[in-house]
Amino acid sequence: MLKILLGFFTLLIINQAQAEPLPVTEIATGVYVHQGVHEDLSEGYHGDICNIGFIVGSKGVAVIDSGGSLKIGKSLREAVRVVTPLPILYVINTHVHPDHIFGNAAFVEDKAEFVGHYKLAEAMDQRKETYLRINENWLGAEFTGSVFIKPSIAVQKNMTLDLGDRQLELTAYPTAHTNNDLTVLDNKTASLWTGDLLFVERTPSFDGDLKGWLEAVKTLKTSSAKRMVPGHGAVVSHSQTALNNEERYLALLLSDIRASIKKGESMEKTMGTAAASEKNNWVLFETINRRNVNLIYPMLEWE
């Protein structure tokens, strides 16, 4: 009887340790997206704030971003396994931010190739200690086992990946949201994963070059994609509206900060005034907009 009970509790523990599959939506044939929640990194963060997912071909699967922890990555892997037994061939990171990359370790056992912008590995090296420390503080035990996995394939400008009966077109961008932004276009369904070059609903967060980001938005506007998967927020089929909204905010942020500097206003004052008319158009505006000003103001002082 004791052996039976011990066996039961062992199975119970194992089952509890197994990851639950993340909920995903098939937005086009073979293209699956899990939409992250709108939480701030410093408050209420559980590693699940960005859009992640996967694309299934006849030969295998490409994962697009892996989430903010090993735990989230494992749940994404389980979601893949619910859909298909095909091998996971690639894990593509759209940029370096922790909510997009710390689930990578969940796919090491698949012997997947890790793919990123040619500047991604360097960015990981530069931010490794800081990202590990702050994510341990934010997530605690939920961050256990989360490590950096660098890209084994670097995209210099453009690259095509073949999943079998569908090709993915990868494009590396000049500095915009970050200095390592990458987009992924599924040619079969004309679905474009923009990473954080596009935010929907959530206030765009800055970590690169504001003028470069505005140029990237112009480039995205020329895309013939039928739908776009933003880094945060809902998938959009009317992408021009979403791109216009982001462009309006970024352009206003740029012009308002420039005007404040010209008038000799402090950065602290500018945090409360720059792009203030956009407040009701975005989630988490107060927190993220202030951070944006904090980063952009010193850069524009030296224009």
Residue 7 has pLDDT above 50, yes or no: no
pLDDT in tens, 236-259: 998 999 999 999 999 999 999 999
For residue 178, the model assigns a pLDDT of: 99
- pLDDT tier at 138, thresholds 50, 70, 90: confident
CATH numbers and ranges of domains, the chain: 2-300 (3.60.15.10)
218 phi and psi angles, rounded to 5 deg: -60, -40
Beta strands in the chain (DSSP E): 25-28, 31-34, 52-56, 61-64, 88-92, 113-117, 153-155, 158-162, 167-172, 182-186, 191-199, 227-232
Contacts for 79 with CB less than 8 Å, ≥ 6 apart: 21, 22, 23, 24, 32, 34, 54
Contact 234, 274 (CB under 8 A): no
Residue 232 has pLDDT above 50, yes or no: yes
% of the chain surpassing 70 pLDDT: 94
Weakest-pLDDT range from 1-15, 28-42, 184-198, 271-285: 1-15
pLDDT in tens, 29-52: 999 999 999 988 767 788 999 999
For residue 17, the model assigns a pLDDT of: 53
For residue 19, the model assigns a pLDDT of: 85
* Rounded mean pLDDT, 225-236: 98
- The single-letter code of the amino acid at 195 is G
- Expressed in angstroms, the distance from the first to the final Cα of the chain is 77
Both structure tokens of 103: 């689930």
% of the chain surpassing 90 pLDDT: 86
Residue 2 has pLDDT above 50, yes or no: no
- The single-letter code of the amino acid at 47 is G
SS3 track for 170-238: EEECCCCCCCCCEEEEECCCCEEEEEEEEECCECCCCCCCHHHHHHHHHHHHCCCCCEEEEEECCCECC
Weakest-pLDDT range from 1-15, 137-151, 157-171, 246-260: 1-15
What does pLDDT average to over the chain? Answer: 93
266 phi and psi angles, rounded to 5 deg: -70, 160
List, in sequence order, every residue forming a beta bridge with 171; answer none if it has no partner.
158, 183
- pLDDT tier at 3, thresholds 50, 70, 90: very low
- pLDDT tier at 173, thresholds 50, 70, 90: very high
For residue 11, the model assigns a pLDDT of: 34
* Residue 22: strand, helix, or coil: coil
For residue 14, the model assigns a pLDDT of: 35
* Rounded mean pLDDT, 130-156: 92
Weakest-pLDDT range from 193-197, 237-241, 254-258, 268-272: 237-241
pTM here? 0.92
